[in-house]
Amino acid sequence: MNLAKLAAEAAARGTPVRAGLIGAGKFGAMFLGQVPGIAGLSVTAIADLDPDRAQNTCRTVGWSDDAMRKVAFVDDGAALAARDDVDVVIEATGNPRAGIRHARAAISGGKHVVMVNVEADVLVGPTLAQEAAQAGVIYSMAYGDQPALVAEMVDWARAAGFHVAAAGKGTKYLPAYHTVTPDDVWPHYGLTAQEASAAGMNPQMFNSFLDGTKSAIEMVAIANACDLAIPVAGLGFPPCGVDDLAQVLRPRALGGQLEGRGMVETISSLERDGRAVFRDLRWGVYVVLEAPNPYAAACFAQYGLTVDSTGHFAAMYKPFHLIGMELSISVLSAALRHEATGCATAMRGTVAAIAKRDLKAGEVLDGEGGYTVWGKAQPLSRAAEALPIGLAHGVPLARDIAAGEMLGMADVVFDKEDEVVELYRRGVAQALDRG
């Protein structure tokens, strides 16, 4: 509350929040399209490997030539992070290694960081958050993306005195999707390859949403930020509509489908036979509440909440998310409130790389959404030696891997000077030491 008022006051003082955007893809474009209508927020610099593309993006979303002349367009994210005219750095490249490098450069330069790059966050988010805290700046999830929206709902539930039984999002899922490759992704979206190409859609990126990898990444990010547990068997993707959230997403001991209380889970908008789930939550997020006492449970029913068969579980949900169009909430919150819209606090899980097919020694992995591996959410206690999907790109295999097998860190050949690998190993070791 009052964030728009704080931003308007900053505008009246002549000290608007100055944002620097790294990565002018779809997420960045949606943010840029909103900026002209937000008093107290300006974009002073945009970094993209192709600055001309970034300028075209600004034109596409309606920026005037005069507005564009006030922005520095550069091709180096680290250089943007060092600029004196940037207060908040938005990392939206989607590349985990680049994201980590840019975030650390921003933190070293005394800039707040809004990490759209969830791939980087699940690798080393807690470490980046610690570095930011030591530097006196904010490291934040990106509002509008599902992890930050879930983190907000979890915080609301706990602040109101409820127990959180489960939290997560919806997606379109069938078990067969785990082995889909970029070559056969478009029919699952109801598109031809030609239509997708004409729209500028990246098949590998869209495949990462379909094959379950993106859901795993987002659920681990939520677990790391909200002190929630990750299913030992990985995400179950139970088919579930909004009216059944409380019934399905409760512990198995009470008739639900969860291992226990306090879990992350992604629900499917498709039944296992491919039929659409009634009142699905494909585009939204949810939190399942457990009443702390019988009186609270009675109030659930009195105020019209849909409850489970015990009457003690109910759910709240948000049916849609607007991704980049809501990103300014994080930018303004970091600069004006010195507060994150969700932040990794501990490394509770990882996203393990699973072979999509039989792989041979010497093959080079192609990472998230590709032809070789998909990502499975795992508790860190069970998968500390697993190869995370964020490191499963551009590295050769040291041995043959069978289809469906979980890859380990020792199964690939890393550069001995790889700083990101070292940072990840250090984060895992610290998390295990803390228990």
pLDDT tens per residue, range 127-169: 999 999 999 999 999 999 999 999 999 999 999 999 999 999 9
pLDDT tens per residue, range 180-234: 999 999 999 999 999 988 877 889 999 999 999 999 999 999 999 999 999 999 9
Whole-model pTM: value is 0.96
pLDDT for residue 242: 98
pLDDT tens per residue, range 50-80: 999 999 999 999 999 999 999 999 999 999 9
Host H or E run for residue 21: strand 17-22
CATH architecture of 349-434: Alpha-Beta Complex (3.90)
* b/e sequence 140-152, b meaning 16+ C-beta within 10 Å: bbbbbbbbbbbbb
pLDDT tens per residue, range 206-221: 999 999 999 999 999 9
Superfamily of domain 3-144+327-337: NAD(P)-binding Rossmann-like Domain (3.40.50.720)
> What residue segments make up the domains of the chain, in order of their start?
3-144+327-337, 147-173+212-320, 349-434
- SS3 label, residue 316: strand
